[in-house]
Amino acid sequence: ELKVEQNPLFLSMQEGKNYTIYCNYSTTSDRLYWYRQDPGKSLESLFVLLSNGAVKQEGRLMASLDTKARLSTLHITAAVHDLSATYFCAVVGIQGAQKLVFGQGTRLTINP
Amino acid sequence: SAVISQKPSRDICQRGTSLTIQCQVDSQVTMMFWYRQQPGQSLTLIATANQGSEATYESGFVIDKFPISRPNLTFSTLTVSNMSPEDSSIYLCSVALNTEAFFGQGTRLTVV
């Protein structure tokens, strides 16, 4: 059974600092997603990572994937308050299938 | 990309009643997915809805409690039956298109 674990689950940081959220998964997968969720809202797609070594960047967020280590990271550079949200990683459960298994989520709070 | 419209966006229901949630997507898709997000929790897949066949339910979810319809390639409904306060959650539909996974805005259900 595929398990997806994120850490940390809660993160409070100051503006201007850098930090990394980790996403580990237990079995081989060919696709990993990162989403952002604001309180009371749905999921906003951030990144789709499809291959080993994939790296994608959007603004202050950068995501990478190491399929051999079954690890993805979401790096935040020079955090700003607007990035406060809950971040989820999700992995395709079965190769060729489309249903997702989600991590627990990381609740990120960025303080001025 | 895909645009998903979900209705209702929120509802407050009496225990013992049922609520049907509608999901309309602007593209034809083979599979639609229904997820539940309990308060403060991550997303859990309820079932996969294929057009022309019965939905496939995940462990812990049964058809009698969560009947699903999938009459065509752009529409699906999820019914939450005989509701109890434990059913209070956000329910989200999702579709996969190419390598992306898109989510509706969610239905926030409160059972009193």
Q: What is the mean pLDDT of residues B34-42?
A: 95
CB atoms within 10 A of CB B8: 12
Asked if the C-beta of A25 comes within 8 angstroms of chain B's C-beta atoms, the answer is no
Average pLDDT in chain B: 95
Q: Which token pair is B33? A: 């997915």
Query: Among candidates B20, B16, B10, which has minimal Cα distance to B110?
Result: B10
CB < 8 Å to A42, chain B: 92, 103-106
CB < 8 Å to A35, chain B: 103
B102-111 per-position pLDDT tens digit: 999 999 999 9
pLDDT at residue A53 greater than cutoff 90: no
Counting Cα atoms < 13 Å in the Cβ hemisphere of B40 gives 2
pLDDT at residue A66 greater than cutoff 70: yes
Buried b / exposed e along B25-63 (16+ C-beta atoms within 10 A): beeebebbbbbbbeeeebbebbbbbbbeeebebeeebee
Query: Cβ separation of B103 and A99 shorter than 8 Å?
Result: no
What does the angle CA B67 – CA B6 – CA B12 come to, to the nearest 5 degrees? 75
CB < 8 Å to B98, chain A: none
Q: What is the mean pLDDT of residues A40-46?
A: 92
Give the pLDDT score at B60.
Answer: 95
How many residue contacts between A and B have a Cβ separation below 8 Å? 47
